[in-house]
Structure 1
Amino acid sequence: YSQPSSSEEYDIDITSLLQAEADLYSDEADSRHNIAEPVQYFPQSESDDGIPKTCYCGGEAVVETSYTSKDPGRRYFTCGNADDGDCHVWKWWDVAVMEELRDYQRQLREVKDQANESDEKLVKVEQIVGELAKKKTGIANGYPLLVCVLLSVVFLLCMVVMFKWVAEKENVLTESMEELQRMKMRLSNL
């Protein structure tokens, strides 16, 4: 057995190999700098429940129609920038509307519960006033008037608070209905 000689078939230029390896590492290092970092969008609460108004990217949510064989003609919310490859809002229209309606039902139940609580409190106040009127302490003529005035003030305060709360919920409901009408107009224009 003999060692290979430095014949032509085994003749390797080590300098060119080292240069090729250095070029390879250089290209790899350069390519890391050219890779764009993905844009990080933070979820917005409007996009998660109910009808989305804005996308995660800040764009306006639009209504599109599905043309797939599984869901032909089914509408959905998406973003106008959805083709850029980033994360955007996407939600079926009927699911979003049902979530919105469930939220309104919950709010309506809360209003009814608060109205019932106010009625119960009013009945309790009327009972207390009735009991106090029966006791008639030293001030016989002025006491019923004071109780009536006090009861009226309490009743008016309860009504003012209740009407303000109902007006606030009505504004939310009106805005949502207007938004649904605008979306309906946009859908009819499609």
Structure 2
Amino acid sequence: MTDPGYEDDKEHQRYNDMLFFVADSNNGIPECCPCSGQIFIHISKAGTYIGKNYFVCKHFEDDGLHRKKEWGEAIEDEKKKLMRKVDDHEVKIRSLYSIEDRLSRLEEDEKKNDEEIEEMKYFLKIHYPNEFY
């Protein structure tokens, strides 16, 4: 025997989950609606919003569970997201330059060490000719 309010609780939980999905997906250009509906570009023909573009869910109802986002806002969000990626890549590239610099210094040190080793071998051959090197 289940609690009569259990079904209501489940329904409220599904509704809250859907609200979370809608809020979580409200970043950048929407690819699909949280209801899994297709997104299309809608051009407003009403009132003061004539000519304004929106990304809208095919099954849009004004209940907060579907995606409707102003085109300009979505593009701005997408631009910010891409700028963050570019900045991250720039940091990585700059770190590669420092690694490249360290590698060149290591190669120079290696050459110096090789020269010193050769000098030591020469010194040992001159001063200790009968030893095996």
TM-score range for the pair, normalised by the shorter chain length? 0.5 to 0.7
Give TM-score scaled by structure 1 length: 0.47
Q: Report the AA paired with residue 72 of structure 1.
A: I
1:130 aligns with 2:108: yes
Computed over aligned residues only, the root mean square deviation of the Cα atoms, in angstroms, reads 2.5
1:66 and 2:67 matched: no
**Structure 2 CA distance for aligned equivalents of residues 55 and 67 of structure 1:** 22
Q: Counterpart of 2:32?
A: 54
Matched length: 104
Note the alpha carbon deviations across 1:131-188, whole angstroms, 9 max, x for none.
2311334368xxxxxxxxxxxxxxxxxxxxxxxxxxxxxxxxxxxxxxxxxxxxxxxx
Partners of 2:23 and 2:62 in 1: CA distance: 22
Using CA pairs under 8 Å that are at least 6 residues apart, name the structure with larger relative contact order, 1 or 2. Answer: 2
Within 5 A, what are the aligned runs for 1:69-148?
69-83=47-61, 85=63, 87-136=65-114, 137-138=116-117
How far the C-alpha of 1:126 sits from its partner, in A, is 0.6
Partner of 2:54, secondary structure, is strand
C-alpha change, 1:132 and 1:110, in structure 2 (3 Å) is: same
Contact 1:46/1:54 (<8 A) preserved: no
CA distance in 2: counterparts of 1:84 and 1:92, whole angstroms: 14
Greater Cα radius of gyration, structure 1 or 2: 1
Question: Which residue does 2:126 correspond to in 1?
Answer: none
Q: Report the CA distance shift for 1:134/1:65 in structure 2 as closer, same or farther (over 3 A).
A: same
Q: Residue 58 of structure 1: SS of its match in structure 2?
A: coil
The answer (yes or no) to whether the contact 1:61–1:78 under 8 Å persists in 2 is yes
> Distance between the aligned counterparts of 1:84 and 1:90, measured in 2?
9
